[in-house]
């Protein structure tokens, strides 16, 4: 029964990220934590994230622009160091609530008011990457700054999704490597991954097919809805 639940959860998680370009951990981790130890759930999510992001990066490879992605990845590394330091000095609950409120307000604004996209100065990519690294290291939710940055640019939906996929590809491989080196990737984790990987891939493929039928305007609305849900999740789980 537990194995069946893991399979269904990752099928759904893959589908969500296949559509939006992010959000698999947002779906999978809270559900897995209901019946798995968090030390199993987190590395399991990281390994399946490798499958998802690798597939999406390959599928969108002609839209991958490393001039857009590398600044995000480079800036994320020092951001992670700052995030770890920040976590030691500030309550993670306070940080989570603050970011959650910011995401809820921002996503509601974008859903209710038409935001004009523009070509942002390259310096914003470094700021977004740094913020993502810091927030991710502080409480494992580093995506929002990069997602906001990508949606504010006047890019097509394929460029947005490819940039997000490239950035999360870097993060997922980094996280999976860190878990393996630290010993968190146990036999239990690897066994669950072997069973769930085909289904997370199937979910990602299905989500990608649905994504192909969505216009850019609707795609952005879907992103903002998931940002809203991410913000609400961060606020509720921090209490």
Domain definitions of the chain by residue range? 2-237
Instruction: Tell me the per-residue pLDDT of 182-199, one tens digit each, with 9 for 90 and over.
Output: 788 889 999 999 999 999
Q: Please tell me the predicted confidence (pLDDT) of residue 99.
A: 75
Digit-coded pLDDT (tens) for 151-162: 888 888 899 999
Model-wide pTM > 0.85: no
pLDDT at res. 163: 92
| pLDDT, mean of residues 66-78 | 89
Give the pLDDT confidence of 208-220 residue by residue, as tens digits: 999 988 888 888 8
- Within 13 Å of residue 20, how many CA atoms lie on the same side as its CB? 27
- Please check the confidence at residue 87 and state whether its pLDDT lies above 70: no
Query: Residue written as tokens 């839209």?
Result: 63
Contacts of 193 (CB under 8 A, 6+ apart): 44, 47, 48
* pLDDT exceeds cutoff 60 at 48: yes
Neighbour tally for 195: CB within 10 Å: 13
- Predicted confidence at residue 138, as pLDDT, reads 57
């Amino acid at each position: 029964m537990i194995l069946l639940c893991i399979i269904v959860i990752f099928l759904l998680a893959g589908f969500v990220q296949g559509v939006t370009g992010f959000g698999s951990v947002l779906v999978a981790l809270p559900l897995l934590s209901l019946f798995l130890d968090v030390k199993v759930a987190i590395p399991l999510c990281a390994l399946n994230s490798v499958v998802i992001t690798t597939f999406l990066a390959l599928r969108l490879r002609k839209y991958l622009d490393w001039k857009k992605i590398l600044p995000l990845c480079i800036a994320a590394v020092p951001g992670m160091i700052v995030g770890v330091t920040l976590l030691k000095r500030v309550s993670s609950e306070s940080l989570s609530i603050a970011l959650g409120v910011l995401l809820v307000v921002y996503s509601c604004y974008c859903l209710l008011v038409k935001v004009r996209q523009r070509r942002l100065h390259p310096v914003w990519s470094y700021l977004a990457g740094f913020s993502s690294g810091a927030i991710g290291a502080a409480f494992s939710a580093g995506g929002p700054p990069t997602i906001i940055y990508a949606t504010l640019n006047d890019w097509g939906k394929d460029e947005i999704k490819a940039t997000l996929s490239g950035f999360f590809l870097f993060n997922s491989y980094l996280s999976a490597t860190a878990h393996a080196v630290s010993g968190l990737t146990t036999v239990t984790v690897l066994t669950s991954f072997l069973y769930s990987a085909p289904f997370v891939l199937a979910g990602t493929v299905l989500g990608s097919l649905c994504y192909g039928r969505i216009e850019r305007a609707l795609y952005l609305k879907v992103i903002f809805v998931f940002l809203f849900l991410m913000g609400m999740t961060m606020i509720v789980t921090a209490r």
